[in-house]
Amino acid sequence: MHASPASILTLPDERLRRMAETVTAFDAELQKTFARLDAAMRAGPGGVGVAAPQLGINNRMIVVDCSLARHPCRNHGLLYMTNPVVVKKSSEKVLGREGCLSVPDWVGMVQRAKSVRVQFQDGAGVTHEIESSGFEARVIQHEIDHLDGILFIDRVVSTQELVRRMSRQ
């Protein structure tokens, strides 16, 4: 079963704004869903992450693989994360350019924590905790936002705010 970029929900689909449900069943169906997410991420242009709600699946599941980026990051490689939660964010924030498969042809500058500690369950329900930094931390934060009905465009720093920040540096 392969997902195509066409299977990714795009704005203004209201399902992108829903709070995703906690996953409680770690079974074969969950594995099939991860396979669908992985295929959709790889099919999309520049896709380095995808969240289940982007495929109309109302579960707290994300797939992240920054090794697919134009400038690959080194952190953890392919991650299948169920019920991910950021348990700690660095106080240091970084402004960076983001785009999204669900908001095609748009990019914007978004401020995110430079590093995060994330707790999640794998496909078997085993709990893990990882430290992530740089681009991978940005992608993880972006995908977890999807689980809460938040899109990167909700966090875009306005041009005026960007000019103010740059003049302070």
Residue 77 backbone zone (phi > 0: left; psi -120 to 50: alpha; other: beta): left
Can you tell me the distance from the alpha carbon of 74 to that of 135, in angstroms, rounded to the nearest whole number? 9
Q: Residue for token digits 């991420």?
A: 41
Sheet architecture: strand order including 79-89? 49-51, 61-64, 79-89, 115-121, 127-133
> Buried (b) or exposed (e) across 70-91, using 16+ Cβ within 10 A?
eeebebbeebbbbbbebeebee
Q: What is the DSSP string of 133-145?
A: EHHHHHHHHHHHH
Q: Reply yes or no on whether 92 is catalytic.
A: no
Can you tell me the distance from the alpha carbon of 5 to that of 55, in angstroms, rounded to the nearest whole number? 10
Catalytic residue among 14, 131, 143, 161: 143
Closest of 136, 43, 147 to residue 96, by C-alpha: 136
Residues known to be catalytic: 143
